[in-house]
Structure 1
Amino acid sequence: MSITQHHLLDTYRAHRLGQPAPPAPGTHDWQVVREWRDHRQFRAVLAGRPAHGRLRQALSRWLHARPRSTG
């Protein structure tokens, strides 16, 4: 059963029981992404790491690394 079919079945059941219809699939996706990001930042602060710009700092270190001398 696809997500759409499942949603339609849930909507039908809710209508028959006099309950409010469930939200459409994907309605709250961005809210979940924001909450996940906030949770990651919170965990970084608890661990003593910077909460913002970690990826940019890592890329900057990698791109601007000094070449090692071989010898």
Structure 2
Amino acid sequence: MTAIEQYLIDTWRASQQGAPMPPPPGRDDLAVLREVRSYEQARAVLEGRPARHPWRAALLRILTRPRAC
């Protein structure tokens, strides 16, 4: 069963029982990614490492590594 199908079943069930509607799938995905990034940066600071942006560091590694031709 896909997430959309489960969402439709949960929405129908909530309407039948008078319960609040569930959030649509994927609504909070970006917020979760931001929280994970903030957590990793905070953990880096507590461990004494620089709190750099992890995606920026990965992109910099990709752009600056020598290419094997």
Gaps of at least 5 residues in structure 1 are: 64-71
The runs of at least 4 consecutive aligned structure 1 residues that moved more than 6 Å come to none
Counterparts of 1:21 and 1:37, CA distance in 2: 29
TM-score, length-normalised on structure 1?
Answer: 0.74
**Corresponding residue number in structure 1 for 2:48:** 48
**What are the Cα deviations for residues 26-63 of structure 1, in whole angstroms up to 9, with x where unaligned?**
0000000000000000110010000025627x74xx75
**Corresponding residue number in structure 2 for 1:38:** 38
What secondary structure sits across from 1:49 in the alignment? coil
Q: Please give the root-mean-square deviation of Cα atoms over the aligned residues, in Å.
A: 2.0
The aligned length equals 60
TM-score, length-normalised on structure 2?
Answer: 0.76
Counterparts of 1:53 and 1:31, CA distance in 2: 16
| Greater C-alpha radius of gyration | 1
Aligned-pair identity in percent equals 43
Query: Match for 1:28: what amino acid?
Result: D
Gaps of at least 5 residues in structure 2 are: none
**What are the Cα deviations for residues 3-42 of structure 1, in whole angstroms up to 9, with x where unaligned?**
1110000001111111111011000000000000000001
